[in-house]
Copies of this chain bind each other. A is one copy, B any other.
Amino acid sequence: MAEEVVPDVVISRLPWYLQTLNQLARQGMHTVSSQMLAERLGSTAAQIRKDLSYFGGFGKQGTGYSIYYLIEQLQRILNLDRVWQVVVVGAGDLGRALTRYQGFASRGIEIGLLFDVDPKVIGTPVGPVIVEDVAVMEEKIREKGIKIAILTVPAQAAQEMADQLVAAGIESILNYAPITLITPENVHVQHIDPVLHLQRMMYYLGDKK
C-alpha cells in the first residue's frame, strides 16, 4: 500500500494558492471556483483541481470551494498550523532586513536567532532578537531545536556556515548567498538570488536599452 508521493512541483504551488486564498478571504469572499482562482493566479482550473486532488476532495460540485475551509486544509497539509522558529545567519543589510520583515509573523514564521562573526554587531539588537556570535551557534540552535535556517553571509563563508548549520541539526536552508551549496541529501536547500532572476529577464529583453 505504497503512499503516492506528491510531486514537488505541486507542493511548491500550494503556498501560492494559499496566499491568494487569503487575499480573497480578506476581500470578504466565501467561495471560489477553480476557474476563478485560476484567473486570479494566472494558472489553469484543471491544474488547481488536479493539485488539490492529491490530498483529497475539498470542493463541492456546482459551487466550488469554501475559501475558509480550503485555507484551513492547505495550512494543515503544509504544516502551517503552528509557529516555526527560524535562524538567520549573517547580520548584514539583508540578514537584518529579513529579521525585521513584518511579513513573517502574520504567516507563522518567527525569527528565533540571529548570528554574525563581526564583533562590532554581536550584542546589538535587530528587530525581535540580539545578534549572537557564530561561535555559539550550534549550541543555541540545538537548544531551541530549530530546523530552518536563512543564510545571508558572503559567498566565501556560505559553505562553511552551511556545514555548521547541518551539524547543528538544521534540515532546511534558504540560501541567499550566490553559490551552490553542497549538503547531505536529507537537507532541503532552496536558493534565492536576485541576480539569477534578473539575468533570466535580460535574455528576454534582447538588445533593448
Contacts and interface: CB of A to CB of B under 8 A. Distances in A.
A137 B198 CA distance: 21
Interface string A69-101: 000000001111000101000001110111011
A201 B100 contact: no
Given A79-B206, A172-B201, A179-B23, A196 B97 contact: no
A60 interface: no
A15 B193 CA distance: 10
A50 interface: no
Given A190-B200, A197-B174, A206-B79, A101 B94 contact: yes
Contacts of A147: 205, 208-209
Given A19-B179, A97-B93, A174 B196 contact: no
Number of this chain's copies in the complex: 2
Chain B CB within 10 A, most for which of A12, A42, A98, A200 = A200
Given A23-B179, A79-B206, A195-B107, A15 B190 contact: no
B77 A202 contact: no
Interface string A174-198: 1000111010000010101111111
Chain B CB within 10 A, most for which of A109, A174, A194, A209 = A194
A145 interface: yes
A113 interface: no
A81 to B, nearest CB: 10
A71 to B, nearest CB: 13
Contact of A172 (B14, B93, B205): B205
Given A190-B197, A196-B15, A208-B171, A42 B180 contact: yes
Interface of A: 11-12, 14-16, 18-20, 23, 40-42, 77-80, 84, 86, 92-94, 96-98, 100-101, 103-104, 107, 109, 145-148, 150, 171-172, 174, 178-180, 182, 188, 190, 192-209
